[in-house]
Structure 1
Amino acid sequence: MRRWIPCLVLTAAAGCASAPPQTQPSTRPSLVVVIVVDQMRTDYIERGLPHFTGGLRRLATEGTWFRDAAYPYLNTVTCAGHSTIGTGSLPYRHGMVLNAWWDRETGRSRPCTSDGTVRNIGYSGKAAGGDSARSLLVPTLAEALRRETGGRTVALSLKSRSSIPLVGRSATAIAWFDELTGWTTSTAYAPTKLPWLDRYFAANPVKADAGRTWERLLSPSHYEGVDDGTGERFPQGWTQTFPHVLATTVPPFTAQWQRSPFADEYLGKLAGAAVNSFGLGRGKGVDFLAVSFSTLDLVGHQFGPASHEVQDVVLRLDRTIGALLDHLDKTVGRGRYVVALSADHGVGSLTEQYAGAGRQGGTESLAAINGALAPFFGEGKYAVHSAYTDLYVAPGVLRKLEANPNAAAAVLAALKKLPALAHAFYASEIAAPEARQASDPVRRAAALSYHPERSGDIIVVPRPGWMLSTTSAATHGTLYTHDQQVPVIFYGPGVAAGVRGGAATPADIAPTLGALVGVPFAAPDGRPLVTLTADK
């Protein structure tokens, strides 16, 4: 008789020696649940834990929490992070290096999930464009579960670049929210709207939240800091301080709704409805449910990580996740599902709250390159695009620089003179595979984010506290701890409660979940933090 004995360990090498023998055969979990909280830093859980009463408390105290988990790469952005969680691979391998990269063939910025061969379908109106996982270069755990067990796979989020990389090229159901057209899917996954989703959205319109007031969940004394921090920005029609009243008209309403905890509540209930509609966790295969909560990211970009708004979103998300877990207990059964919780990246503090820091837009970097090359080649547009840390030059410029070392050196010298930049180097310095094991942490992190067809020609890294953006109050996308360190928590049968130290990354999530449900998943950049042994 074969029985699965799961044991959560610090490293794969530690094995399962301490696992107690089981006297009865165990049934493997029938549902994998991946919860991603966009922009959640590890310290958000530490800060909020005394006030949590719901799902975040349950996961953090009853699951195994790898407190030191962090992304090892430079481009800590949404598409890269969700792709790493979904595939167990890092950006250099899965290819989703940025939220949008410069397409050298078309001369335009290309969103990571953009696909001109498919068409988006709006549930409440005509949707624009097309989105799919066509640019994702490696398979996902969700695809493996569907292929190996016949399981159903569902992904839900406010963002296409969050939901799509978690499931991959195929899914039983997928939906995201477009600010202009509402809930959306794609012909990459279904030729028409799914009837149950169509009915759900019609019966539960987002606009029902119009006019609602977002007030702090707890009394103001429970929140750290002030409610009107220096540097905070806010959606149209709102102020820096509570309460925040949602507009009754579009467009202000949809922008505000996504930046309110009401969007998280809606998404949590939608996930519960998906469990009911598909009978997730109650079939013969191992089903997969991914829910990516985006509100924290949208709020964090505008109010910053120390704001009362961010603190309140996390407090309320604790309850939203708790309600979802309670629903799974009732419908699937406690002990019949496994959960992984993580984030796609963290976030830095407001620049205005750093001494000696500031903001710099991408145009300054492009101007520095063009100015440096003018004495060598004449006035011209040699640099064509900036994608935060990735700078792209026009066709033929790299060949000119290779032939003129003085011009190449002048470009880097000009960039390093900019007050915002700590490092600047050519992508050719990190293109070789050995760069991914470089002793220099900056070069190593950049190499792990580098894909030759999609990454920039020149890589820059901002100084601590500096932002390469003038539009957000706070942002991410660097190799600093506040951007890289995120929670990695596992919960479910065979997962012991406790906090673990040691190395772990979100790339370990997919292989760990695969091991927990008995479906080995090869993830070259991740490893199972759970070891399964077969006892005959």
Structure 2
Amino acid sequence: MSSRRSTPLAIAPLAAALLVVFTDAARTTAVEPPKLVVMVVVDQMRADYVERFQHDWAGGFKRLLTEGAWLRRAAYPYLDTVTCPGHATISTGAFPRTHGIPENGWWDRDLRKQMTCTEDPRLSNIGYLAPVITGDSVHRLQIPTLTDQLRAERGAHVVTLALKDRSAIMLAGHGGDAVTWIGEAIDSWQTSPIYSTTPVTAVKSFVEANRIAADFGKTWSRLLPAARYKTADDGAGEAPPLGWTATFPHVLTGTSGQADATYFAQWQRSPFADAYVGRFAATLVESLKLGRHDATDVLAVSFSSTDLVGHAFGPGSQEVQDMYARLDQTLALLFARLDDVVGRNQWVVALSADHGVTPLPEQLVAAGKDAGRISSAAVANVVEERIGAVLGSGPHVAFAAGNELFFHKAAYDAIQSSPDLLRSVVKAIDGIPGVHKVLRAEDVRDASSSSDVMLRAAALSYFPGRSGDLIIVPRPGWVFAPRGATHGSASADDQRVPILFMGRGIKPGRYDEPATPADIAPTLAALCGLTLSHAEGRPITVALTF
């Protein structure tokens, strides 16, 4: 039985904030609120995919473009363009400096170990088909989400779904009827006890009847005619998962002739996983009667496989193009089901992405562009050498990953008290190929209004106690990844994403007004007659009918 109306562990610190938000919320709107608010996040969807792939689409994406509003100049304004902060920004309408989720994970200075953005050692998750020992919650999120406000103000029923824990959790916020994701093993669907203390019947029924192994032996072949694919099928730098080559077709057979861990990795990196999530979402809409209650309900779905395929094959690959052609079909089926169950024009959808992605460096170099790979381990080694020459042997670096460098406290105290040592460390990092700039935490924490675009981007990503002591800004085209494609920079490749709205209260059209994904929640709130007082975004009024 769901415990959505109870007060979970994670919500207590937010009680005062919620009270202020809900008391001051606007309660009127010029249109009748939608029966269902739908948020769709397509993980790693670059803005230019719409221009590049729209002629491949005849289903859900095409419907969004023809019946909806397309914000063509949307981008994240911050540095750490990764999944957890992206989903938190979409759900809260605020940036990492405010919502408190700067990265997918960071060095916990108190526990002295790396923690993920949702990891909660106080809890054990609820498994649907097998026991789980890990615990997750939203306790690190500092402000309420749109769904939190709709639950508290309007009694909304909330369903969120994704392959990734951080995606489902950040979209939900501090409560929900069914908040579901999958763990590291096949069929390891789960939820957190902050959402439900027992398995949700509708979720359990679906996963029992729809085992992931049912896709074993299927072949992922190209959906479109061969001439529609404009890039090579074996691009430089591609890093397919174990058991696959860089070229089509891709057969889901694992390595042991059964549905093993390799098969599960292949399945997650295929369109079959997106199709599964789409069917799952449509089933929960019907079984939990979303859009048929007295108040506005919420469905939030994050399609994670586009990100996994993008990492493996890169944004210029035939695999990525094919994923979006197939996701177009999946979205068409989901939207048609919403029409049937909720009623056409009785629901509204916002679709965006949590970040973009940088092309494979090998392909950029081949095109004569500046690009390459930066090793976090190499950064840490260079820094250790410089500090060790002054302070003696370490380790002095506690954690290094991507843009963030964390020091052990004694080492950072010494660096702060020695300008010469600080300059030496910064100079050493600056000398690594691909590094554009090195910023200190002290430089960025109060710079969110800076005219320096890069400094402002770092400041919007910075959250005290969770962000690194040094922030490393890479040059465009350079990535912190040993293989495949990735994201996480302030380049246009990583920051620019699409924003599309469709449905009740939306004025169809193509709009060139600048926007950020932080505008999504305020826009949806306005359609429901609410105001998000913690939001840093604003309603995109040009795309509304009132």
TM range (shorter): over 0.9
**Cα drift, residue 531 of structure 1:** 7.8
| Structure 2 counterparts to residues 261-410 of structure 1, below 5 A | 261-355=271-365, 356-410=370-424
Give 1:533 shift. 11
Matching residue within 493, 517, 520 for 1:506: 517
d(CA) in 2 for partners of 1:530, 1:285: 23
Q: Structure 1: which 5+ residue stretches go unaligned?
A: 1-24
Q: Where do residues 46-195 of structure 1 align in structure 2 (5 Å cutoff)? A: 46-180=51-185, 182-195=188-201
**1:366–1:384: 8 Å Cα contact kept in structure 2?**
no
Q: Name the counterpart of 2:240.
A: 234
Is the alpha carbon distance of 1:534 and 1:162 closer, same or farther for their aligned partners in structure 2, counting shifts above 3 Å?
A: closer
Instruction: Tell whether 2:460 aligns with 1:448.
Output: yes
Q: Distance in 2 between matches of 1:202 and 1:379?
A: 54
Q: Is the 8 A contact 1:216 1:242 kept in 2?
A: yes
Answer yes or no: is the 8 Å Cα contact 2:68–2:500 preserved in 1: yes
Bigger mean CA deviation after superposition, 129-138 or 179-188:
179-188
- The letter of the residue matching 2:438 is A
Tell me which amino acid in the other structure corresponds to 1:233: A
2:480 aligns with one of 453, 468, 472: 468
Amino acid at match of 1:244: H
Which residue of structure 2 aligns with residue 36 of structure 1? 41
What secondary structure is seen at the aligned counterpart in 1 of 2:306?
helix
Equivalent-residue separation in structure 1 for 2:73 and 2:31 (angstroms): 31
Q: Gaps spanning 5+ residues in structure 2: where?
A: 1-29
1: distance between equivalents of 2:217 and 2:418?
A: 62
Paired letter, 2:225: S
Question: Is 1:207 paired with 2:180?
Answer: no
Contact 1:516–1:530 (8 Å) recurs in 2: no
Backbone CA RMSD of aligned residues: 1.5
- TM-score relative to the length of structure 1: 0.93
Matched, 1:479 2:490: yes
Amino acid at match of 1:239: T
- 8 Å Cα contact 2:232/2:318 also seen in 1: yes
* Contact kept in structure 2, 1:119 and 1:188, CA below 8 Å: no
Shift in alpha-carbon separation, 1:238–1:438, aligned structure 2, 3 A: same
Whole-angstrom distance in 2 between the partners of 1:531 and 1:29: 18
- Number of matched pairs: 508
Letter of the 1:495 partner, please give it. I
What code does the residue aligned with 1:333 have?
Answer: G
Give, in whole Å, the separation in 1 of the partners of 2:108 and 2:145: 24
TM-score computed with the length of structure 2 as normaliser:
0.91
What letter matches 1:246 in structure 2?
A: L
Q: Equivalent pairs: percent with the same residue?
A: 45
The verdict on how the C-alpha distance between 1:67 and 1:534 changes in structure 2, with shifts beyond 3 A counting, is closer
Q: CA deviation at 1:185?
A: 1.0
Aligned-pair distance for 1:502?
Answer: 2.2
Q: Which residue of 1 aligns with 2:508?
A: 497
Equivalent residue in structure 1 for 2:442, among 428, 447, 468: 428
Contact residue 518 and residue 537 of structure 2 kept, 8 A:
yes
| SS of equivalent to 1:262 | helix
User: What is the DSSP-based 3-state SS (H/G/I as helix, E as strand, rest coil) of the residue aligned with 1:101?
Assistant: strand
Are 1:163 and 1:175, in contact at CA under 8 Å, matched by a contact in 2? yes
Cα contact 2:143–2:534 (8 A) shared by 1: no
1:112, distance to aligned residue in structure 2 (A): 0.2
- Report the equivalent of 1:530: 541
- Residue 533 and residue 186 in structure 1: after superposition, are their counterparts in 2 closer, same or farther (change >3 A)? closer
Distance 2:241 2:427 in 1: 38
Summarize deviations over 1:168-196 as a string: whole Å, max 9, x none.
Answer: 01111111011315211111211111122
CA distance in structure 2 between the partners assigned to 1:534 and 1:227 by the alignment: 44
8 Å contact 1:348–1:482 — kept in the other structure?
yes
Deviation at 1:534, TM superposition (A): 12
Q: Could you give the per-residue CA deviations for residues 416-454 of structure 1, whole angstroms, max 9, x where no partner exists?
A: 01112111121110112xx00111111100000001110
Number of the residue aligned with 2:19:
none
- Secondary structure of the equivalent of 2:438? strand
- The Cα shift of 1:301 comes to 0.3
What letter corresponds to residue 269 of structure 2 in structure 1? R
Q: Aligned partners of 1:161 and 1:143: how far apart in 2?
A: 16
